Structure 1
Amino acid sequence: MSRHAALLTSLAFVPLTLGLVGVGGDQPPLHELVTLGLAGLLTLAQLMMLLGGRSLAKGVVSVVMLPLLLALASYALPEYWVTLESWDAMSHGLAKGMTLEAWRPALLTTLSLILVAVLIVTHSQSTLGGPLLLIMAVLLSAQGLLDAAGSGAPLLRTAAGLWSTLSLALLLTGLSVAALPGWRLHAAPLRRALVPSLTLVLAVLLLWYHQKNVTERELHGTVAAEARQLGQRFTREVQDHLTAVERFANVWTLFDAPPSQEEWSRQATLYHRDFRYLLNIAFVDPESRLTRVYPPSEINLQVLGARLFDAQPAGREAVSRALFEQRIGRTDVIMLLQGVPGIIHYLPILLDERRTLGAVAMVIGLPMLAETLFSEVDSQHFGLVLSQGGQVLASRTPDTRLAPWQHQAQLDVAGTPLLLSVQPSHARLLQRLPRHPVVTLITGLTLAYLLYLVLHGYTRLARQHRRVRDTNRVLRREIRMRSQLQEEVEWLARHDELTRLPNRRLFMEALEANAVLRPLSVLICDVDHFKRINDHQGHLVGDRYLVHLGQIGRELIESTGGLFARYGGEEFVACLPRVDAVRALEIADTLRRQLLDAELQHHDGQRLTASIGVVTLVDGPLDVAVIMQAADDALYRAKAEGRNRVKAAPPLVIAERA
């Protein structure tokens, strides 16, 4: 590990420190503090590795891996396995009131930190996937930055904040600087393993990004459809209520006098029970006075007897339409006499085509309407706002964190357009969010890592096989060379290097091999005055003459089934099995004459000649010394009698030894 790597790694503490103390007085959220803390512990573990404390570093990494694996499990496990409430309950055990989403690091940051932890524990070894782990961590961090820079607020937090990302980036830089020198030594095998693995990683990231967007888009559409259905259901209910109110108004056309309070209460009770959002149902006489009201609550009794033309100018036009024009009148959203915003419908009670007994006033209190509407929705998981023209009429906000998505539905409250805004809680959407994109990402990265290990192992084995094959090839070549050398050594041990004839040893072996054959003849041939050739013509000429004599002798002797060998110096010998004395003498004389005819000359022009001694073993055991001595004696006589002649020793009969 280089000093530069240690320096770069230690720099990761800078963003960690800045993030923990806060910049500009802003305290980072808890999940950012957790991320910074985990990144700082990994930085500490890397420094321990650089200083040689590997056991302690692995202990720190084990501590870091526990919350990271819990966070990863919470992202991947489906809701029906472990519910969000269960995760929150476990979080409550750590700190009262704390939720999973409050402390859990972002998804891509969690994966990056896990990869860094594995990278530190494996000492960035290429055989254990170090290069791929580092590049995957960098790609995940880069993907997180792209998601953070994208438009819109993501439902699932994938990227950490600025200081956490900077701390992780510096840590990755230090790891890469420390590991690159070792990786360069295995550049070719690394490339062969990295290219397919990184291709798979990029494909997995693209697939995860696509699945994440599709699932969030589908969930967004589902929640929007639910909001529209809620608005449509309530609009239908209001329409049903108006139809019922028209029937209620028609009841009083059967009477010629205004209803009594008892009659009014008896009929209104049935309608008010079905439509709880009605503030009251009132009877308005032709003078626009409220003479009957139901329910007789304190707030309603306060307005009893009020003349609407005077007390409620905003609704004067609607009242006049019912009393004088005999048409249904409807106000916009106005402030009611009870002090709350609402909408009033006036339905005329006709006596005949010109006279009006009065009008039925259906007063819809918007707070009560909103309460009725909101009661149909889980108030713990949805934020609701009822508004008109930007004016908030009623709202309900849960205690939990709301999601970044807001859906709006148009309400038609008897002709009055209202806007219902539905904003689900973040926890509710996380519960409904499919987990398969995260599972795809985790599975894909795991498969890419396994693919790298397989390819890298296969590459190493292939390289080792090539080395073994090359070594075997060299070894076989060496064995062949040694065999050839051994054969050559063995050949030289039994042959004469100059004449390529068998030497004395092989001649002796031939005698031993033919020891039982009779007759057995032996020749000894010696070149006459050979020393003068070397002295006057040089050793090269002498060697050439010897080679020529060897060729003559070999052709002649081997044609008779014998062996012609160089005995030493200018002496040659022949072994002739199954050749009798007469025939041996003829062969020897032929050899003498062929040498004479070869026209090999001395320096003075005389022809090269040879003297030959011949002996034949007729009977008895083989005694090499006796045979060779007899042949040598015959050779001596040939030289003594003038050379260039053949002399035969008497046939040998060697007595058996006792």
Structure 2
Amino acid sequence: MYRHAVFFTCLAFVPLTLGLASVEGKHTQHELVTLGLTAMLTLAQLTMLLGGRTLARALVSVALLPLLLALASYALPEYWIPLSSWDAMSRSLIDGLTLEAWRPALLATLGLTLLAVLIMTRTRSSLGGPLLLAMVVLLLGVQVSLARISLGAQLLRSAGDIWITLAMAALLAGVSVTALPGWRAHAAPLRRALVPSLALVFVVLLLWHHQKSVTERELRAATEAEAYQLGDRLTREIQDHLAAVERFANIWTLLDTPPSQAEWARQAALYHRDFRYLLNIAFVDPDSRLTRVYPASDLNLQVLGARLFDAQPAGRQAVSRALFEQRIGRTDVIMLLQGVPGIIHYLPIPLDERRTLGAVAMVISLPMLAETLFNEVDRQHTGLALAQGDQVLASQESQALPGPWRHVVQLDVTGAPLTLSVQPSHASLLQRLPRHPVVTLVTGLTLAYLLYLVLHGYTRLAHQHRRVHSTNTELRREIRTRSQLQEEVEWLARHDELTHLPNRRLFMETLEANTQRRPLSVLICDVDHFKRINDHQGHLIGDRYLNRLGRIGREVIEPHGGLFARYGGEEFVACLPQTDSTQALAIAEALRQRLEDAQLQHHDGKVLTASIGVVTLVEGPLDVAAIMQAADDALYRAKAEGRNRVRVAPSLTTIERA
């Protein structure tokens, strides 16, 4: 895995080199910056693989600074930090450098930032490594999809070029190779945290793309509407001009002679003041000669006296319509006598129905008209062009980088079809572009990352809880087992394993426990000739007979509050607190009789019997050895007298005789 990781990481330098060669000399600083940052992260990953963690983290930190600045410039609103401030900050580093010139594409910025975090955290799953890796894969996929769109047609540069994408993919492969084996061991917990987080990333990317498309479409529609408004203002200006020209012409219908130069200048000055784009206002006599002109500039005085039929053939038809047909004549866009393109309106001044005093010539200079229109817009951030067909009549180039959108408005200037082209600058469009799609993207990815951390932490806690619960269950089971074993050990320590009766130890403890209770009787029972059972019928029969005797003893002794125990071999003992000698004798006799009635037989058919010795302590201190010896003596006497009988111990000072 280590060799594969090094191989893929080194492979990233191939597209980086090819990308550097492809942008050399093209003044694409942003691609050079992106390639440089990718190379720095690739070197950091390679250094991390070789063990230089401190140097790797330093390289990542250096790369993160411009990436975070670029990301902030994408996300922060214009009213917080305007684009001009970002440009001023860029120019403070390199003279003439603007933000858009060096800033990497949005998705490339995000992808490189996530790769930097992956390298810094060494792809640990507890720090979001799997989700960060999946995010970079998705961002690369979106970059490939957006790469089909011409980068020049995009307002906000979103995707890097193919070489940057390939380099990031190779670096991502190198990071993945080292991380995947460690994640595979925890596949199920990681899947539970990764799937919902990744679903949120999908939704965020779709929402970002939708908002990006909508905001750019709305901005384009807004700038197009502004272009049409500009064209409408130009059209209204021409219409107002024509209405004014008609009023001006009607003034001279009251005269029978041509106006003097002073009269002409006095009236024309009022109209020229309102319509600054008029090159001149001239009086044309019936022979088409220019006899009066205002303003009396050197350029206009040069054409004074010219016969229009001869000097301007392109406008002959319009002049004839005014002079001979008494109708308004309009020229197409022609070259004026002053050497500039323009349009001339000829308005007749009739004397009667057949005669004409002359005509008023309103000469519109299209460059001056365009200049009047251009003054209404920001010259620094808007490119304008007024054209007729392929001929550009007037133009204004934007001082800033032109934007991707050119709006063409069709105009009808008194019958002359013109086109007005409006192209806002890239900077002015970026200033007006809403930031909420980028904010949505960054915020959504951050929330997905936090969701992963929460789910991963919850999954780990749940796993630890299950382990603790399992350990506690095992511990409780072990405690129960040990308790059961302890109880069994304690029970075995005080009970006979064969008959399940209390043994000698428990019998002695019971005697000690009844030290202060009087009277206290003790019985010793011995099976007569029990050895013959084992010798002739076997130990299994002997064990069965002992069990039967044990049950009989418990049935007889325990109802009287006593304890019946196996003393050893075929000997059994009983402790009867608060039982005097008479009661003890009766109980012992009942025990003997019950055994005899049980018809447990020897090999020769004789019934199994028992001999019992009884002793009762009426008062005085308890001497266990003495009382047991007295009971044993009574038992011995019962056996000596022929067995199958009950005998009471001989008289002692502390023992009542029967």
Tell me the TM-score range normalised by the shorter chain.
over 0.9
Q: Do residues 323 (structure 1) and 323 (structure 2) align?
A: yes
Alignment of 1:244-323 (within 5 A): 244-323=244-323
Whole-Å separation in 1 of the counterparts to 2:239 and 2:263: 25
Task: Give the Å deviation of 1:450.
Answer: 1.0
Whole-Å separation in 1 of the counterparts to 2:582 and 2:67: 109
Q: Output the amino acid matched with 2:82.
A: T
Q: What's the TM-score, normalizing by structure 2?
A: 0.96
Does the 8 Å CA contact 1:619/1:652 hold for their aligned counterparts?
no
Shift of the 494–383 alpha-carbon distance from structure 1 to 2, 3 Å rule, reads: same
Whole-Å separation in 1 of the counterparts to 2:19 and 2:295: 61
Aligned to 1:357: 357
Task: Give the Å deviation of 1:386.
Answer: 0.4
Whole-Å separation in 2 of the counterparts to 1:546 and 1:573: 13
Whole-Å separation in 1 of the counterparts to 2:618 and 2:323: 169
- Which sits farther off after the overlay, 50-59 or 99-108? 50-59
Aligned to 1:421: 421
Q: How big is each residue's C-alpha offset from its partner over 1:40-73, in whole Å with a ceiling of 9 and x where there is no partner?
A: 1111111122122222222111111111111111
Whole-Å separation in 2 of the counterparts to 1:388 and 1:321: 24
Task: Give the Å deviation of 1:333.
Answer: 0.9
Whole-Å separation in 2 of the counterparts to 1:268 and 1:16: 70
Q: Do residues 639 (structure 1) and 639 (structure 2) align?
A: yes
Whole-Å separation in 1 of the counterparts to 2:334 and 2:453: 73
Q: Output the amino acid matched with 1:462.
A: A
- Which sits farther off after the overlay, 79-88 or 13-22? 13-22
Calculate the aligned-residue CA RMSD, in Å: 1.8
Does the 8 Å CA contact 1:494/1:503 hold for their aligned counterparts?
yes
Whole-Å separation in 1 of the counterparts to 2:5 and 2:212: 36
Aligned to 2:29: 30
Whole-Å separation in 1 of the counterparts to 2:619 and 2:277: 149
- Which sits farther off after the overlay, 143-152 or 425-434? 143-152
Q: Output the amino acid matched with 2:37.
A: L
Aligned to 1:190: 190
Alignment of 1:221-236 (within 5 A): 221-236=221-236
Aligned residues: 654
- Which sits farther off after the overlay, 218-227 or 349-358? 349-358
Task: Give the Å deviation of 1:389.
Answer: 1.9
Whole-Å separation in 1 of the counterparts to 2:448 and 2:127: 13
Q: How big is each residue's C-alpha offset from its partner over 1:471-527, in whole Å with a ceiling of 9 and x where there is no partner?
A: 212211211111111111111111111111111111111212222233322221112
Whole-Å separation in 2 of the counterparts to 1:651 and 1:494: 32
* Percent of residue pairs bearing the same amino acid type: 76
Q: What's the TM-score, normalizing by structure 1?
A: 0.96
- Which sits farther off after the overlay, 645-654 or 113-122? 645-654
Whole-Å separation in 2 of the counterparts to 1:428 and 1:484: 85
Q: Output the amino acid matched with 1:524.
A: I
Aligned to 1:80: 79
Aligned to 1:448: 448
Q: How big is each residue's C-alpha offset from its partner over 1:319-339, in whole Å with a ceiling of 9 and x where there is no partner?
A: 111111111111111112222
Whole-Å separation in 2 of the counterparts to 1:599 and 1:84: 116
Whole-Å separation in 2 of the counterparts to 1:519 and 1:259: 164
Task: Give the Å deviation of 1:257.
Answer: 2.6
Task: Give the Å deviation of 1:249.
Answer: 2.0
Q: How big is each residue's C-alpha offset from its partner over 1:588-640, in whole Å with a ceiling of 9 and x where there is no partner?
A: 23322322222222222222222222222233211111111111122222222
- Which sits farther off after the overlay, 308-317 or 262-271? 262-271
Q: Output the amino acid matched with 1:517.
A: R
Aligned to 1:125: 124
Aligned to 1:524: 524
Q: Output the amino acid matched with 2:436.
A: H
Whole-Å separation in 2 of the counterparts to 1:114 and 1:30: 19
Whole-Å separation in 2 of the counterparts to 1:317 and 1:120: 80
Aligned to 1:101: 100
Whole-Å separation in 2 of the counterparts to 1:561 and 1:353: 155
Whole-Å separation in 2 of the counterparts to 1:275 and 1:579: 142
Q: How big is each residue's C-alpha offset from its partner over 1:569-595, in whole Å with a ceiling of 9 and x where there is no partner?
A: 111111122333333233223322322
Does the 8 Å CA contact 2:379/2:399 hold for their aligned counterparts?
no
Does the 8 Å CA contact 2:332/2:343 hold for their aligned counterparts?
yes
Task: Give the Å deviation of 1:400.
Answer: 1.0
Alignment of 1:149-228 (within 5 A): 149-150=148-149, 153-228=153-228
- Which sits farther off after the overlay, 255-264 or 470-479? 255-264
Does the 8 Å CA contact 1:611/1:635 hold for their aligned counterparts?
yes
Task: Give the Å deviation of 1:425.
Answer: 0.4
Q: Output the amino acid matched with 1:48.
A: T
Q: How big is each residue's C-alpha offset from its partner over 1:523-574, in whole Å with a ceiling of 9 and x where there is no partner?
A: 2111222222222222111111111111111111222222111111111111
Task: Give the Å deviation of 1:137.
Answer: 1.7
Q: Output the amino acid matched with 2:134.
A: I
Whole-Å separation in 2 of the counterparts to 1:78 and 1:227: 26
Does the 8 Å CA contact 1:524/1:574 hold for their aligned counterparts?
yes
Whole-Å separation in 2 of the counterparts to 1:77 and 1:556: 98
Q: How big is each residue's C-alpha offset from its partner over 1:404-436, in whole Å with a ceiling of 9 and x where there is no partner?
A: 111122333222221111000010011111111
Whole-Å separation in 2 of the counterparts to 1:630 and 1:249: 163
Task: Give the Å deviation of 1:31.
Answer: 0.5
Q: Do residues 436 (structure 1) and 436 (structure 2) align?
A: yes
Aligned to 2:595: 595
Q: How big is each residue's C-alpha offset from its partner over 1:133-187, in whole Å with a ceiling of 9 and x where there is no partner?
A: 1111221222222223247822111111111111111112222222111111111
Does the 8 Å CA contact 2:634/2:650 hold for their aligned counterparts?
no
Whole-Å separation in 2 of the counterparts to 1:230 and 1:626: 132
Whole-Å separation in 2 of the counterparts to 1:28 and 1:528: 122
Shift of the 254–584 alpha-carbon distance from structure 1 to 2, 3 Å rule, reads: closer
Aligned to 1:488: 488
- Which sits farther off after the overlay, 265-274 or 418-427? 265-274
Aligned to 1:548: 548
Q: Output the amino acid matched with 1:611.
A: S
Q: How big is each residue's C-alpha offset from its partner over 1:436-481, in whole Å with a ceiling of 9 and x where there is no partner?
A: 1111111111111111111111111112111211221221121111
Does the 8 Å CA contact 1:235/1:413 hold for their aligned counterparts?
yes
Aligned to 1:475: 475
Any unmatched runs of 5+ in structure 2? none
Shift of the 560–652 alpha-carbon distance from structure 1 to 2, 3 Å rule, reads: farther
Whole-Å separation in 2 of the counterparts to 1:497 and 1:542: 15
Task: Give the Å deviation of 1:26.
Answer: 5.8
Task: Give the Å deviation of 1:371.
Answer: 1.3
Whole-Å separation in 2 of the counterparts to 1:573 and 1:272: 145
Aligned to 1:92: 91
Q: What SS does the aligned partner of 2:526 have?
A: strand
Whole-Å separation in 1 of the counterparts to 2:462 and 2:432: 49
Shift of the 28–276 alpha-carbon distance from structure 1 to 2, 3 Å rule, reads: closer
Q: What SS does the aligned partner of 1:332 have?
A: coil
Whole-Å separation in 2 of the counterparts to 1:89 and 1:304: 54
Q: What SS does the aligned partner of 2:618 have?
A: strand
Alignment of 1:39-58 (within 5 A): 39-58=38-57
Whole-Å separation in 2 of the counterparts to 1:583 and 1:231: 133
Does the 8 Å CA contact 2:382/2:424 hold for their aligned counterparts?
yes
Q: Output the amino acid matched with 1:80.
A: Y
Whole-Å separation in 2 of the counterparts to 1:253 and 1:620: 164
- Which sits farther off after the overlay, 246-255 or 351-360? 246-255
Task: Give the Å deviation of 1:28.
Answer: 6.4
Whole-Å separation in 2 of the counterparts to 1:286 and 1:631: 171
Q: Do residues 621 (structure 1) and 621 (structure 2) align?
A: yes
Aligned to 2:560: 560
Whole-Å separation in 1 of the counterparts to 2:75 and 2:8: 33
Whole-Å separation in 2 of the counterparts to 1:189 and 1:512: 63
Q: Output the amino acid matched with 1:418.
A: L
Aligned to 1:457: 457
Whole-Å separation in 1 of the counterparts to 2:546 and 2:315: 149
Whole-Å separation in 2 of the counterparts to 1:171 and 1:281: 73
Q: Output the amino acid matched with 2:593.
A: R
Does the 8 Å CA contact 2:533/2:602 hold for their aligned counterparts?
yes
